[in-house]
Every structure is written in structure tokens, then in C-alpha cells.
Amino acid sequence: MALAQPAAKKDDDREDDSEYSPFYGIEKGAVLQEARVFNDPQLDARRCAQVITKLLYLINQGETFTKIEATEVFFAVTKLFQSKDIGLRRMVYLVIKEISPSSDEVIIVTSSLMKDMNSKTDLYRANAIRVLCRITEGGLLGQIERYLKQAVVDKNPVVSSAALVSGIHLLQSNADIVKRWTNEVQEALQSKAPLVQFHALALLHQIRQNDRLAVSKLVSSLTRGTVRSPLAQCLLIRYTSQVIAESPPNLQTGDRPYYDYLEGCLRHKTEMVIFEAARAVTQLKDVTSRELTPAITVLQLFLSSSKPVLRFAAVRTLNKVAMTHPLAVTNCNIDMESLIADQNRSIATLAITTLLKTGNESSVDRLMKQITNFMSDIADEFKIVVVEAIRSLCLKFPQKYRTLMTFLSNILREEGGFEYKKAIVDSILILINEIPEAKEGGLAHLCEFIEDCEFTYLSTQILHLLGSEGPKTADPSKYIRYIYNRVILENATVRASAVSALAKFGVVVETLRPRILILLRRCLYDNDDEVRDRATLYLNLLGDGQETVQEEAQGFIFGDLGVPLANLEASLQDYEASERPFDIAAVPKDVKPQATVEKKSATSKKVGKDVSQNTTANGGLSSGPDSYEKLLNSIPEFAGFGKLFKSSPPVELTEPETEYSVNVVKHIYPGYIVFQFNCTNTIAEQLLENVAVVMEATDGDDFRFVAIKPIVSMPYGAPGQAFVTFEKPEGACSLGKFSNTLTFYVKEVDPSTGEADEEGYEDEYQLEDLEVTAADYILKTGVSNFRNTWDTLDPELECSDEYGLGARESLQEAIQAVSTILGMQPCEGTDVVPSNARSHTCLLAGQFLGGVQVLVRLSVGIDAQKQVAMKLVVRSEDRAVSSVIHEIIANA
């Protein structure tokens, strides 16, 4: 069967037809039926190759095959070894490698592959080596080791490279075998074939990578000029940079070891090597201006290259250098200005952002004129980068705020998506806060924007700002028209926000109050209850018909309510309509829930639990990173622990209907873990004193107990916080399991008087066990451009593996489960799986303890039996961290 042909065009005149995939509509079942062609007595090589192509496409799209399906395909493919067609044989190698037969099936094809490995056809030999090393286990490798050693030093570079690459892969699982090839690999390193030399150097370094002295000796021997391959020389530059980073400078001269080699590579005849050396120099730790100068000179020459890839590489590297050494890049500004008109928009964007980082005050106006024409030609993601750079420039040169603010307002009125418009609005808000002179101009620009704003979130954000800052300006009346237009023209959410903004003007500006009252009365007839309720509330607060506004009204509109919202809600629910109006002053200021006497017995446990989850020690702060850090810093015992890295979500340690409600938050420091136990007494007849949690490490030797901080007194319904602190090795990812026992002193309480007995008794309550997992050391952090950030991380620090997740209801459930286990932030909306999708890729980002950035590509596929397979690819700034991510999934 021929591959599917494109559907007929409905309109021959259409010029924007999207590209058509020849694999569109391919289904696994149909392809498996087509695979029966492998069993035909007279093989059709072309047709067989087409079917294998479809199988490979399905596999690479994430399609999974059941054990039976994979076995049937494998046995059918092995029959194709009888064909002499070279093209078909190459396809057979590929599909066998991708199917990866099980150990009991490998023996079926081993003899054919070993025969090909000794064939006179070099192409067969190279591919057979690659496949054998991919699918065989250690036992068989021992039998073919002699052949592999010979292949490493084979005269044919294709065969030699195949053996070396196979060695790189085998090093992960059969390191002992590969390490015995050292002599042969060193001999291959002297090969005249560039690719062989490249692969030999990569393998030799991986063999020695755990021995710093051996790596240093390797670099020392090769930097004398024995490496000729440009690819190998690029590798050598990277290894040299690694040795430089780990070696101290010369005590007498202060020079770095091997720096002369990097500088010499800047004069190499190959552009690839020159750039790699320049990039290595710019990334040296604590690099000096003297060391940077030759690298910057080379990159400046690349800026005027006719090759787009060289221009892009140079400007991207200079962009990074400009973050730390802007003066060193200043000499390149004239060359970068010419790149603003570059056809490649990525190059132009990087050039602009670099110029904005390195430009001086006198060049701002000229840059703005050049950027104005450029902005309409690039995508939103590039525009956001430019906007952020302009914001930084304005903070650097605040006297240029008029020019930059005008530019931001102009692009704000142009077409663009939500993220782009939000970036502009956020930039204007920051400039208004940081530069007082820019306030009125910024507010005027925002007023113009909300006239045509299509995003509710941005409209409400701007209206809130106008209500807070507008009354303080020299002429507040000019903002009223813009705000009231929103009441007339916008949706209910924006109308409600506009009503609140109007009320703030009425409170502060006495001369405008009569006009504000008229406008608010009109809002009483709005068709949305939220708008009507707000108008009614503010009319009463503004004293409709009165000349003055009470101070309490000002405090209400501009301040907070002064009472916890949970208490206000409970009081409103208990209030029964009568002649007695509801009095907010009667709402208690503490966090004790206001339940009626009749409801106490039925709901006291639930109310106490809810309060403990939503309050902190001071009773008014909601749980969150900032409030946690503020709370911990206020406790002297924790003040010297350093910077708080992460606070976990609360983990329940009691069942919902128990006498005591306890959950725990784990606070992670570099050298300590503080366990915060949020405890609530849900028994009205008891007063608990000296409440503490006794923790014992049942698994984990890295933890050393430091201190317990108990709760002095815990009456009914009032939550409290007990703390337990453990020390661990600095920066270590220590894992452990703890048993927990709640201990306290009980005093009986008289329900009628609320007084507690003087005498009591000691008691304890067993809590659930608690684990400290590797995911506790990962902090959710998003990235604005995942692909760019991914590319900046070293591929050599990447770890990849495949997993079976078993039966799942959907891919959405599988991705949600993995994201929760890792505790990482989904990026670019990839956590949402399209309906009916059979495969999907989710992008995750986070930060590991110590500030190590981690990125994850999570590819999942589901079959007809709802069995989910997953491929996890991790990149980070530390290979050990990448391995930890896989350990988390493997042990989940």
C-alpha cells in the first residue's frame, strides 16, 4: 500500500495551505495489519521499507506496543534478513533497535547480526555493531568483546565510529567491559578521520571522567596539538574549561592553567572551534577584562558574518556577557545596531536586548527609533524579551522615562496576546512605583489602554491602580471619565472593579464627591448583583446626602476589614434577619470560629481543622512562602539557619474526624529541616498545655535532633504551632521517615463557665508517620522560554530513561500524577492534554536545593488498553541532580 496522498485542495487559489504530512491519519492497528507483508514469500523491498517507516513514525510519536504486538512485529522483521536489498537492511536495523526485543527474543536475531558484523560490506558491519550493542546484555557482550575491540581500530572510519559510539552507550550499563578498551580507544584517537577522533575523545573522557587527575592528564597531553578534528577540538575545549574551573591559578603569575590553549584556539582556521573557544573564555569563573578582550574581538567579527548561524551564536554569547560585563561589550554596539534589521528575528531580538543592556544614555533615543519599526515584525515571545529589557533600561536611566514610557504606551495599543500586554502593563506599573515623575504620564497611558482592552484581568488591575493613585494626582477629575466608561461598556467583573475605583475618588477628593455619588446611584440599576451591592455599600459609606465622610469609611475602603474573613463569614452565616442590624464590630478579632451552640457538637472538629489549615501562628496570616519565612525569622531559634529554600504544602497527620487536628509543613534550609506542626484542639471540654510533637527517625541516618518548641497553651478551636528541628549535612538531599507522637497536658474545662481545672493529667496521641522525600528539595520555578533555557543547559548533564506507568484513565491523569510527585512547575500550558490525544509532551521546571535549575521533558503515550508509557528526559546544571529526578520517579 502506498503512503497516503494529500487531499485535494478545496480552493486552488489558496496560497497559505499548511504543510501536509504523509503520515496523517496513520493508526497502529492498520500498520500492524500491513506488517504481514514481511511474511510474503516474494518480498517487496519498497513496500516493506514503507511499512517499517510507518512503524518507526508511530514509535517516535510515543505510540506504545503491547508485549504481544512487539513480539509479532519483531519476529516478522527478522524474516527480512533474507533480502539482499541494502536500503531495506538499514531499515531492519533501525526497527530492531527501536523495538528493543526482550532478552529471550534477542537470541533469535543475534546470529544474523553477528554474521553481518563480520560481513565484507562495511555498512552492514557498522550498523550490526550499533544494533547488537543496543539490544544485548552483559553476557553476550563478553562473547563479542574481541570483535568490538577490533572494530574500534578498524581502517574504515564508519565501522570505527560505530564501535566507539556503542562504547559510549554501553558505558552506562557495562562500564567494566568498556574500560578494557582504553588502549584501542587511544589508538583510535590518533586516527586521521575527523569523526573517529571526535568519538574516541568523547569515549576516553567518559571512561576517565570520575578521575580528576586522569582528566587533567588527558587535557595536558592533547592540548599540545595532537587533535586535528574540529569536532574533537570543540570537545577538548569543553574539557579544558572543566579542568580550568577545578584548578587554582598559578600562585606566582596569577594566570589560569591552559588559558593559553583557549586563547590559541581563537586563531584556529575553523569557525566552529573559534566560537567554542570564545564561548569558553566568556564563561570562565571571575573572568577579567584582559581575558575577555580577545574573545569579544572574535565575536565582534562574527557579527558581520554572512552566515546567520555565526551571527546568532555571537550575539547570543554577547548578550550573556552583557549581563555581567556590559562595558566589555560596548565596543560591539555599532555592529549590533546593524543587526536590528536582520532577516532572522531571533538575531535581531538578541541584538536589541544586548544594546539595551550596554547602551549609554545618549543612545537611548536612537535605539527607540530603530526598535519602533522592528516590533511589528516579531512574535510576542520576542516582544516580551524586548519589553523587559526596556524596563531595565528605564530603571538604569530614569531621566529617560518619557521616551521609554511613550514607547511602551505605543506598543501597548498595538495587536498582541495576553502575556505580551501583561508584560507591558507590569513594566509601566514598575516604572510608576520606582520613578515618581512618571506616575501621571503612566496613569494617562493606562487610561487610554483600558478604553480598548480586551483582557479582564488587565482592566481590573489598572482600575485598582487608578483608584489607589488617581486621587493623589494634581487633577484627579480627568480619570473619572475613563473609569465610568468601564461601568457602561464592560463586563460585570470590570464594572464591579470600576465601582470600587470610583468610590475611592469619592472618599479622598471632596470636591468630586457629589459627582461620584450621582454615578454610583446609576449603578444601582445594573443587571449584575455584585455591581449593585458594591454601589449600595459605597453609597452608604460615602454618606449619601451628607457633607463629610467618616474616617471609618476611609479606613474601610482603603484598608482591610480588621477581622479575619473566616470569622466574618461565620458571623454572617449565624446572623438572622431582624430589626437589629449586623454589626461588624461584634465580629471577634481572634481566629476562634463563631459556631452556634447547637452546631458546635456536630461541626467543631471540622471547623477546627479548617482554621488550622488556613492560619499561621499570629492568627491572621494565610499560609504561603512569605508568611512562613516571616514567621520563622521571628523565632530566635531559627534565625541563624540561613535562607529558607522551600516550605512544603501541609501534610495531614490525623483523620478528619479525630479529637485533635494536626498537619505538618516541612521548611527546608540548606543545613536544617524545621517541621511546623499546625495543631487544633477540637474538644470544647479540654484545655491543652505544653503541646509538643515527639519525632523519632525510623529511617534515615543523616538527621540529628536539634530542638523542640512546644505550644504553651491551646484552648478549644484556637490553632497553635509546635516546631521540631533536625540538622542534616549542608546542602545534602537527605531522605528519611519519622514516627510522630503528640504529647500534651490535659485540663478539663467547665462548659458553663469556660474555666479550666487547676489539676490535669499527661496524655499522648499517635500521629501518622511522615517522610522526607527527594521532592521536598525541589522548588517550583517557571521559565519564560523553556526551549531557550533547555538549550543553554549542557546536554552532557542530561539523563534520560523510560518507564511504564501502568493503567491510567487518561494521559491527563498520568501527567498530573508525575507533576505532583516531582513537585515541579508545568511550563507553557503543556500540563493540559488535548482531548483524544494518544501521546503528549509536558514541560516541567524547578530549582533543586542549592539553586540548581532543573528542566524536564515528560513524554507519555497510551495504548488501547490504557497502559501508559513514559519517557523522562532531565537536564540540569548538575548531572547528580538529573539522576535524583529519575530516582524520585523510579521509587515512586
**Three-state SS letters, 778-792:** EEECCCCCHHHHHHH
| Contact between residue 824 and residue 25 where contact means Cβ atoms under 8 Å apart | no
Task: Supply the DSSP string of 198-265, one letter for each residue.
Answer: HHHHHHHHHHHTT-HHHHHHHHHHHTTTT---HHHHHHHHHHHHHHHHHSPPPTTT-PPTTHHHHHHH
pLDDT of residue 725: 92
For residue 615, what pLDDT band results from cuts at 50, 70 and 90? very low
pLDDT of residue 665: 92
Query: CA-CA distances (angstroms) from residue 505 to 231, 448, 547, 689?
Result: 68, 19, 15, 50
Q: If you average pLDDT over residues 41-48, what whole number do you get?
A: 88
Tell me the three cell numbers of residue 515. Answer: 459627582
Question: Which domains are delineated in the chain?
Answer: 211-286 (no CATH), 597-772 (2.60.40.1480), 776-890 (3.30.310.10)
**pTM for the model:** 0.52
Q: Cα–Cα distance between 531 and 490 in angstroms, integer?
A: 12
pLDDT of residue 613: 39
Each as own residue / partner, the long-range contacts of residues 221-225 (CB below 8 Å, 24 or more positions apart, any chain) are: 223/258, 223/261
Residue with cell 519483531: 74
pLDDT of residue 600: 36
pLDDT of residue 20: 57
pLDDT of residue 103: 67
Average pLDDT, the chain: 81
Strand partners, 677: 664, 722
Q: Over 70: is that where the pLDDT of 700 sits?
A: yes
Question: What pLDDT, in 10s, does the model give residues 800-849?
Answer: 888 888 888 888 888 888 888 888 888 877 888 877 778 888 888 888 88
3-state secondary structure 337-368: HHHHHCCCHHHHHHHHHHHHHHCCHHHHHHHH
Where is pLDDT greater, at 741 or 889? 741
Phi-psi region of 469 (alpha: psi -120 to 50; beta: other; left: phi over 0): alpha
Between strands 736-748 and 770-772, the pairing is antiparallel
Task: Supply the DSSP string of 391-416, one letter for each residue.
Answer: HHHHHHSGGGHHHHHHHHHHHHTS--
pLDDT of residue 674: 93
Tell me the three cell numbers of residue 50. Answer: 514503507
